[in-house]
Amino acid sequence: MATVRVLTAADLHQSPMHYMALTHAVAEHRPDVVAIVGDALDAMGDTGKPKLTTVQCATILAKLRVEHLLFARGNHEDTNWSEFVDAWPHKRRKLMGLYGRAYKVGPLVVIGFPCLTGSELCWCAHLSATSNEVQLHPGCSREPLSPNADAWLPELLAETGPAGRTLWLMHESPVGLPLAQPCAFNPAWAEAVERHAPQLVVAGHDHYTPLRNRTWHTMLHRSASVNVGQSETQLHYGVFDFEFPTATPSVALKITLRAFPWRDEMTMIH
């Protein structure tokens, strides 16, 4: 048996409290992977609320005590993403952005989706043409992906095999109510989930609907979909333990999902 622990958070929006709480959560849970599922930054500018600078965000996240740190794009990663990339200590730690590609951590395969809200040009300009590494100097090495997942996802899943259907990260939820308002979820991602049946999908974007409905997970056909929401007063995040039959890439035999701060739990058996 092999196990991989993943901690996910979304919609940090440069909040000092959320960044500090994330640092503490990583120290407490000791995950193998931390995945920031969009909106680590905030493209809204001055909202009157205390905000970290982009440089401070890069500094804090680069110091997280975790071996694998992954980013998926949210709608608030825009031109500020270039500032974040410039501030990242590339010589000390690689910056990894998942965008229509897979990332392997032992037996776990993670796939990151685009965010179709807002422009992806700055995000794509910094992505390596051959890997998930985010480059310091933009070279327009990637073209924005099609909003039709059938244009790129089947080929990717053919490369990864069944293991590519273990964990998908997407800022826009593939599920409407109870996890997201109709204006916030992405029907294209819902179609992709229904067609390819990943074991687990983790999203963000809609901060409040999961909290109002007092639920953070639901099933979309055979796939579990999670959005823990995001509170303005405390960090909400997920911790997922994947158990695999071997150390080689495969689907998980068992996934234990926990949502914090409630410490609510569910278990999936393959």
- Scanning the structure block, which residue is given the tokens 């992954």? 70
User: In whole angstroms, what is the distance from residue 256 CA to residue 239 CA?
Assistant: 8
Phi-psi region of 209 (alpha: psi -120 to 50; beta: other; left: phi over 0): alpha
What 259-268 contacts at long range (C-beta under 8 Å, 24+ apart), as own/partner pairs, is: 259/216, 259/217, 259/226, 259/228, 260/25, 260/228, 260/235, 260/236, 261/234, 261/235, 261/236, 264/216, 266/217, 266/224, 268/199, 268/200, 268/224
pLDDT tens string 191-209: 999 999 999 999 999 999 9
The whole-number pLDDT of residue 130 equals 84
The whole-number pLDDT of residue 48 equals 72
On the question of a cis peptide bond just before residue 245, with omega within 30 degrees of 0, the verdict is no
Does residue 137 have a pLDDT over 80? no
pLDDT tens string 144-190: 999 999 999 999 999 999 999 999 999 999 999 999 999 999 999 99
Does residue 62 have a pLDDT over 90? yes
Least trusted range by pLDDT, from 116-130, 175-189, 213-227? 116-130
Are the C-beta atoms of residues 74 and 99 closer than 8 Å to each other? no
The whole-number pLDDT of residue 15 equals 97
Q: What is the pTM of this model?
A: 0.96
The whole-number pLDDT of residue 165 equals 98
Percent of the chain with pLDDT over 90: 91
Task: Show the domains of the chain with their CATH numbers.
Answer: 2-269 (3.60.21.10)
pLDDT tens string 8-18: 999 999 999 99
Q: What is the DSSP track for 224-268?
A: EEE-----SSS--EEEEEEEESSSSS---SEEEEEEETTTEEEEE
The whole-number pLDDT of residue 222 equals 93
Does residue 22 have a pLDDT over 60? yes
The whole-number pLDDT of residue 47 equals 67
